[in-house]
């Protein structure tokens, strides 16, 4: 079993889910008392959020790249950025290390294709919905992603930062998200990508009439597959 390096804490609610999924998956695959071999860098998310708001992507790339090298020195044999948004700096992080980085959009695209879909709604932070890094990665896999118009886009973003990253799961926000999803379904979305790992805390597939692609789970499982590959 290869050691997985995790750049996490962005926010810790999603990182905890990553670790839970990885540990359960390894135990199911190997049996007994087995668990995942992990080395984790958990950030103070308030510092990350402040840099995001200021557009400090270069500083964030430097910080994550430096810590990726630390994880590699600690024995990590593959790397995971345990958040969708911070994959905006994935190319710089990958360039900083010699171990493979498992990309969340690739794991998600594989699941969308396996479901036979080619057009999906993409919900996430404003950065994930508006910057090209995620949608272009999906487009390389022949997947069209639809994002909300305003004011829905702001609503989706604000619920993530004002509630979900702080552990607040509101029935009202769930209802508002479901309304956003219905509008995107009307625009042609065949499924929904929970393109911010915390969204999985708010919306479940049982809430929807279409497939939901939970990126944290898909990403974590892809990392376990890579770690256990012969």
Residues with active-site annotation: 83, 196
Long-range contacts of 144-149 (CB under 8 A, 24+ apart): 144/118, 144/119, 144/120, 145/119, 145/120, 145/121, 145/193, 146/119, 146/120, 146/121, 146/122, 146/184, 146/187, 146/188, 146/189, 147/121, 147/122, 147/123, 148/121, 148/123, 148/180, 148/183, 148/184
Entry field: residues in the chain: 230
End-to-end CA, the chain: 9
CA distances from 104 to 72, 122, 136, 223 (A): 19, 13, 13, 10
**Lookup: tokens for 86:** 């911070």
> Taking a C-beta distance cutoff of 8 angstroms, is the pair 170, 190 a contact?
no
């Amino acid at each position: 079993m290869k050691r997985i390096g995790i750049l996490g804490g962005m926010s810790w609610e999603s990182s905890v889910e990553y670790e839970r999924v990885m540990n359960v998956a390894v135990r199911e695959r190997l049996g007994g008392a087995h668990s995942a071999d992990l080395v984790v860098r958990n950030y103070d998310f308030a510092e990350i959020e402040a840099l995001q708001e200021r557009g400090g992507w270069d500083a964030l790339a430097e910080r994550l790249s430096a810590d990726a090298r630390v994880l590699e020195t600690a024995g990590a044999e593959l790397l995971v950025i345990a958040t969708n948004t911070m994959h905006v700096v994935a190319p710089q992080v990958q360039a900083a290390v010699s171990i493979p980085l498992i990309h969340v959009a690739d794991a998600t695209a594989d699941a969308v294709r396996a479901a036979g879909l080619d057009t999906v709604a993409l919900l996430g932070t404003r950065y994930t919905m508006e910057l090209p890094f995620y949608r272009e990665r999906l487009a390389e896999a022949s997947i069209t992603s639809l994002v909300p118009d305003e004011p829905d886009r702001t609503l989706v973003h604000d619920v993530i930062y004002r509630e979900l990253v702080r552990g607040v799961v509101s029935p009202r926000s769930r209802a508002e998200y479901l309304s956003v999803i219905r509008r995107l379904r009307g625009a042609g979305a065949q499924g929904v990508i929970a393109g911010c790992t915390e969204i999985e805390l708010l919306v479940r597939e049982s809430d929807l009439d279409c497939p939901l692609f939970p990126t944290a789970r898909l990403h974590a499982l892809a990392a376990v597959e890579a770690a256990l590959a012969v």
